[in-house]
Chains A and B, each alone.
Chain A
Amino acid sequence: AQTVTQSQPEMSVQEAETVTLSCTYDTSENNYYLFWYKQPPSRQMILVIRQEAYKQQNATENRFSVNFQKAAKSFSLKISDSQLGDTAMYFCAFRWAGTASKLTFGTGTRLQVTL
């Protein structure tokens, strides 16, 4: 069974600064996907970024980038130039690459962006 661990229940960052959210996972699979989802106060889950395990290059999406360390089973999210709209819960998620596989979520990190 896969497990996803987010060790930071809450974090705070000032506007325009950079923050890194950590995520570790445990799996015996070799082919899988990792995701970061954002859940703002509206509670709509929004995909922030995804990473295929077979790709060595770290994924980036504008101000969001990941540090994927496959051997260490680590998948951290870096948010650059933080904005007030980044305030949300952030969930790290794992999915094995099988067609019928499901997402396993971490417990989440609540990020507060302050002025």
Chain B
Amino acid sequence: GAVVSQHPSWVICKSGTSVKIECRSLDFQATTMFWYRQFPKQSLMLMATSNEGSKATYEQGVEKDKFLINHASLTLSTLTVTSAHPEDSSFYICSARDLEDRDPDTQYFGPGTRLTVL
């Protein structure tokens, strides 16, 4: 149980285009999902907290107009990188909490999406 998927696993796009990354909880309902960014050989940096049916909460320094987050259902959150530039190239990871699980305080992570902007 507690499986989180991400799609796509790897995407290459041209500078100036927008890219959408999906995060799904496959076998549980996630009212809260988290989006992280990870540069090579570095730790995970939280970008935003996504709550189903409401606006996402962004961390300080994260541009909300550039990184659009939509959490339209209890099993799906999307991150759209708008007008992507090479500096947006990174590994994006989502996670989710299963509030009905015996460990509601544990986050389950997706496999990540590698974004390369040319």
B residues near A (Cβ < 8 Å) are 32, 34, 38, 42-44, 46, 49, 91, 93, 95, 103, 105-109, 111-112
Query: Closest residue to B46 on the A side, CB-wise?
Result: A102
Q: State whether the Cβ of A68 lies closer than 8 Å to any Cβ in chain B.
A: no
A-B contact pairs, 17 of them (CB 8 A): A35-B106, A42-B111, A43-B112, A44-B111, A45-B44, A47-B106, A50-B105, A50-B106, A91-B44, A100-B32, A102-B34, A103-B46, A105-B43, A105-B44, A106-B43, A107-B42, A107-B43
B57 CB, nearest partner CB in chain A, Å: 8
Tell me the number of A-to-B contacts counted with CB atoms below 8 Å: 43
Query: Closest residue to B2 on the A side, CB-wise?
Result: A47
Out of B49, B109, B112, which one reaches A102, CB within 8 Å? B49
A residues near B (Cβ < 8 Å) are 33, 35, 37, 42-47, 50, 91, 95, 97, 100, 102-103, 105-108
Out of B93, B105, B109, which one reaches A95, CB within 8 Å? B105
